[in-house]
């Protein structure tokens, strides 16, 4: 497969596209007018038909599409036929509210089956969805609705998170207050809490659904019509509205889901992401459902009401594939092995990770403690912009190395280059670029093609610039080194934060670490480390010295942090990624910048507190 895809990537992708149902076949597989790619030109397709109708009409009709558990413990199963009906009703309901092809619909919902249903209802009628993670504030919703010029919002009365009722409708009301462009708000009743309904503007989902027909004529979309926009996580700065196509995107996510997760008919597949992130779009909704998979979905917090919640569910439902993020794995490592050990996890056959580089220590723990030493791990590298997994092992094919995302997916061409765009030698760090178009690639930044060209295509002309640093080893395996912004220059040596963090996490007492550079009069920059200890770990005089010694042994003197602080939490995005730019700004006394994507502002105070104790005078 690697060889045939390499020899003729377009033929490879065309063969993958043949697995989908097309309304009209494409004329050309690819029009490449750099940096704008148009995949399956002339083809017509509807994403919801591919995710629902073709299963609901065949032998998978009564198969579970979504197996769901709410945080309070309530359970639901929607078969393909059930989901098809619900999506049809909502498609008709949205049309009834005047939504037409190309209109943007904002979705702000908890992780309940109606969230994918709302996305698919948009896809059915050709509306472009913009999903906003349920943890975001009114301000963040408002900014994104204005940017997308979205007239419709789909939300819920509330959701559950860590035992609390999260008042989504109240936050949504605040977001749209005085926002003249908003015409309709559709509200799903999840928690049964009292909400204010504004006459004429607000509509109950269940009332609209009851009045609507479940047969909903799908909009015949051009393959190149947009399917959705999604704002990035905001780890490096303000989020960008990434626009994805219908046909190319669906081909890319359907193919990668099938091959990377080696899907089988008896799988219960669980991707723990939220649909508010690209991982949820591609690997909860479009990829798995296009393949007719049974998808498990969970509404709430991983450690609620106890740190074994996930493992209890794996045992109860017989989950076979688990796809999650390093941040979650490190949190479980931190809380102790006794929680997964309480449960029978033998149904699991494949594990995956995405979102950040996974340090080898966490990889091994995941492999041993969750996978019982039996399950292959697919470490999948990709981005909101790439739409689909681009660098990954294929289970049963690729020999893995803990911490490496291994090789580009068949048909994908990746390289590591220097700042003049020339490939760097083996095991030398550089910029990760993608050298050929791939079907699920972003089309543009919503209504800002100039910014699209500038951000992704100007640094290395003719190649897609990922913003990530990487090296390729002697076996042609890719090792992601973190974001380019995070690479630190100490006395002329370029050090990846990831490497130092990994060394710290390999110390027995450490659960998580963030390393940043701080201006230094002699060295240019010096390293500062923030470390979170494992449960039961205590801070002691000797520990800091011991950690410095440990880094010296693992990497060398050059990588030893000058300052090591023990902290109880690190600043993270709402998708769980460490926001080094915030720590960096704090330690060098700069403004923090955009913090709307920060998960827990308390973590910033924690870092501030440490700086204050050490330096007497806290930076702003
Ligand atoms: P923003 O672009 O707004 O700053 P973000 O980059 O965090 O936010 P995402 O698109 O959600 O937004 O994340 C993609 C990034 O996550 C990648 O560029 C990479 O830095 C990191 N990443 C994802 N998967 C992996 C992986 N398997 N290994 C290493 N890094 C990964
Ligand atoms: Mg990014």
- Which helix (H) or strand (E) segment holds residue 166: the answer is strand 164-166
* Nearest to 281, CA basis, from 238, 309, 245, 333: 245
* Nearest to 461, CA basis, from 507, 420, 514, 515: 420
Mean pLDDT of 587-603: 77
Report how far residue 218's alpha carbon sits from residue 220's, in angstroms, rounded to the nearest whole number.
6
| Residue 616 confidence (pLDDT) | 44
> Mean pLDDT lowest for which of 381-390, 393-402, 430-439, 557-566?
557-566
| Residue 326 confidence (pLDDT) | 94
Cα dist from 573 to 237, 280, 451, 590, 597, whole Å: 11, 16, 23, 19, 5
**Confidence band (pLDDT; 50, 70, 90) for 590?**
confident
Distance 379 CA to ligand 2 centre (A): 17
pLDDT at 506 over 70: yes
Distance 590 CA to ligand 1 centre (A): 24
**What does the CA dihedral 97, 99, 100, 102 come to, rounded to 10 degrees?**
180
pLDDT in tens, 165-214: 999 999 999 999 999 999 999 999 999 999 999 999 999 999 999 999 99
Q: Which domains does the chain have, with CATH numbers?
A: 2-86+216-301+380-469 (3.40.50.12780), 491-615 (3.30.300.30)
Average pLDDT score, the chain:
94
| Shortest-distance Cα residue to atom 15 of ligand 1 | 383
Atom from ligand 1 closest to the CA of residue 597: 3
Q: How many residues does the chain have?
A: 620
- Which helix (H) or strand (E) segment holds residue 450: the answer is helix 449-457
Write out residues with Cβ below 6 Å of ligand 1. 232-237, 239, 277-278, 354-357, 379-384, 405, 466-468, 480, 483, 575, 577
509-514 contacts at long range (C-beta below 8 A, 24 or more positions apart): 509/533, 509/534, 509/537, 509/543, 509/547, 510/534, 510/537, 510/547, 511/330, 511/331, 511/333, 511/334, 511/535, 511/537, 512/330, 512/331, 512/334, 512/570, 512/578, 514/570, 514/578, 514/580, 514/583
pLDDT in tens, 414-427: 999 998 999 999 99
Distance 159 CA to ligand 2 centre (A): 28
| Shortest-distance Cα residue to atom 12 of ligand 1 | 233
| Residue 487 confidence (pLDDT) | 81
Testing ligand 1's pocket by substitution, the residue of 136, 233, 400 carrying the most ligand atoms inside 8 A of its CB is 233
Distance of CA 341 to the CA centre of its chain: 28
Sheet strands (E) in 397-451: 414-417, 430-434, 444-445
pLDDT in tens, 124-140: 999 999 999 998 999 99
Testing ligand 1's pocket by substitution, the residue of 330, 467, 468, 501 carrying the most ligand atoms inside 8 A of its CB is 468
> Mean pLDDT lowest for which of 20-24, 251-255, 589-593?
589-593
Q: How many CB atoms lie within 10 A of CB 198?
A: 11
Report how far residue 532's alpha carbon sits from residue 431's, in angstroms, rounded to the nearest whole number.
29
> Mean pLDDT lowest for which of 158-167, 386-395, 579-588?
579-588
Instruction: State the distance between the two ends of the chain, measured CA to CA, in whole angstroms.
Output: 54
3-state secondary structure 6-21: HHCHHHHHHHHHCCCC
| Residue 609 confidence (pLDDT) | 73
Sign of the torsion angle spanned by Cα atoms 567, 572, 574, 577: negative
**Confidence band (pLDDT; 50, 70, 90) for 610?**
low
Nearest ligand (C-alpha, residue 466): 1
3-state secondary structure 258-272: HHHCCCCCCCEEEEC
Report how far residue 427's alpha carbon sits from residue 33's, in angstroms, rounded to the nearest whole number.
33
pLDDT at 615 over 60: no
Mean pLDDT of 22-27: 98
Mean pLDDT of 347-371: 96
* Nearest to 565, CA basis, from 603, 619, 594, 508: 603
* Nearest to 179, CA basis, from 143, 132, 130: 143
| Residue 618 confidence (pLDDT) | 36
With beta carbons less than 8 A apart as the criterion, state whether 48 and 218 touch: yes
Atom from ligand 1 closest to the CA of residue 239: 3
| Residue 539 confidence (pLDDT) | 77
**Confidence band (pLDDT; 50, 70, 90) for 90?**
very high
At which residue do the structure tokens 């939220």 appear? 274
pTM for this entry: 0.94
Mean pLDDT of 93-106: 98
**Confidence band (pLDDT; 50, 70, 90) for 613?**
low
**Confidence band (pLDDT; 50, 70, 90) for 619?**
very low
| Residue 575 confidence (pLDDT) | 85
> Mean pLDDT lowest for which of 74-78, 136-140, 281-285, 586-590?
586-590
* Nearest to 313, CA basis, from 297, 337, 328, 324: 297
**Confidence band (pLDDT; 50, 70, 90) for 611?**
low
pLDDT in tens, 356-366: 999 999 999 99
| Residue 490 confidence (pLDDT) | 82
Report how far residue 563's alpha carbon sits from residue 583's, in angstroms, rounded to the nearest whole number.
13
Distance 356 CA to ligand 1 centre (A): 6
| Shortest-distance Cα residue to atom 14 of ligand 1 | 383
**Confidence band (pLDDT; 50, 70, 90) for 612?**
low
What is the Cβ-side half-sphere exposure of residue 398, based on CA atoms within 13 angstroms? Answer: 30
């Amino acid at each position: 497969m690697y060889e045939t895809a390499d020899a003729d990537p377009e033929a490879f992708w065309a063969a993958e596209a043949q697995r989908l149902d097309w309304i009209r076949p494409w004329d050309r597989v690819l029009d490449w007018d750099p940096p704008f790619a148009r995949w399956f030109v002339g083809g017509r397709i509807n994403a919801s038909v591919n995710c629902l109708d073709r299963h609901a009409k065949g032998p998978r009709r009564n198969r579970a599409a979504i197996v769901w558990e709410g945080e309070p413990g309530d359970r639901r199963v929607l078969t393909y036929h059930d989901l098809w009906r619900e999506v049809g009703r909502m498609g008709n309901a949205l049309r009834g509210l005047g939504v037409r092809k190309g209109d943007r619909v904002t979705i702000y919902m908890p992780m309940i089956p109606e969230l994918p249903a709302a996305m698919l209802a948009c896809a059915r009628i050709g509306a472009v969805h913009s999903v906003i993670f349920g943890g975001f504030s009114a301000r963040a919703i408002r900014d994104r609705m204005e940017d997308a010029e979205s007239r419709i919002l789909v939300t819920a009365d509330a959701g559950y998170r860590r035992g609390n009722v999260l008042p989504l409708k109240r936050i949504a009301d605040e977001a749209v207050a005085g926002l003249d462009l908003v015409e309709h708000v559709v509200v799903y009743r999840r928690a049964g809490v009292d909400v204010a309904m504004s006459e004429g503007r607000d509509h109950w989902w269940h009332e609209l659904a009851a009045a609507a027909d479940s047969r909903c004529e799908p909009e015949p979309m051009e393959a190149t019509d947009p399917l959705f926009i999604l704002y990035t996580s905001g780890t490096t700065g303000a989020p960008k509205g990434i626009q994805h196509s219908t046909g190319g995107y669906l081909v890319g996510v359907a193919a990668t889901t099938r091959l990377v997760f080696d899907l089988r008919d008896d799988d219960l597949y669980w991707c723990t992401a939220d649909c508010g992130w690209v991982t949820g779009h591609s690997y909860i909704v479009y990829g798995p459902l296009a393949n007719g998979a049974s998808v498990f979905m969970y509404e709430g917090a991983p450690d609620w009401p106890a740190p074994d919640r996930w493992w209890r569910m794996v045992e109860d439902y017989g989950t076979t594939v688990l796809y999650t993020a390093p941040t979650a794995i490190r949190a479980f490592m931190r809380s102790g092995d006794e929680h997964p050990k309480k449960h029978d996890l033998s149904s699991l056959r494949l594990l995956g990770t995405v979102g950040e580089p996974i340090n080898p220590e966490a990889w091994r723990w995941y492999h041993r403690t969750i996978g019982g030493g039996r399950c292959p791990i697919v470490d999948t590298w990709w981005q909101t912009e790439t739409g689909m997994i681009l660098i990954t092992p294929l289970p049963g094919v690729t020999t893995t190395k803990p911490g490496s995302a291994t090789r580009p997916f068949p048909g994908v061409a990746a390289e590591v280059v220097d700042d003049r765009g020339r490939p760097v030698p083996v095991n030398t760090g550089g910029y990760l670029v993608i050298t050929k178009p791939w079907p699920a690639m972003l089309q543009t930044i919503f209504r800002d093609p100039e910014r699209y060209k500038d951000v992704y295509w100007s640094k290395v002309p003719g190649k897609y610039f990922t913003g990530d640093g990487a090296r390729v080893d002697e076996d042609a395996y890719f090792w992601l080194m973190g974001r380019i912004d995070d690479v630190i220059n100490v006395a002329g040596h370029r050090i990846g934060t990831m490497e130092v963090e990994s060394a710290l996490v390999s110390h027995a007492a450490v659960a998580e670490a963030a390393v940043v550079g701080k201006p230094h009069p002699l060295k240019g920059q010096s390293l500062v480390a923030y470390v979170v200890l494992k449960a039961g770990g205590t801070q002691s005089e000797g520990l800091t010295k011991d950690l410095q010694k440990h880094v010296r042994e693992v990497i060398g003197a050059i990588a030893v942090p000058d300052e090591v602080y023990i902290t109880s939490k690190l600043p993270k995005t709402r998708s769980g990624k460490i926001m080094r730019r915030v720590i960096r700004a704090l330690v060098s006394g700069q403004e923090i910048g955009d913090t709307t994507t920060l998960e827990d502002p308390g973590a910033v105070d924690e870092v501030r507190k440490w700086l204050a104790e050490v330096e007497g005078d806290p930076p702003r």
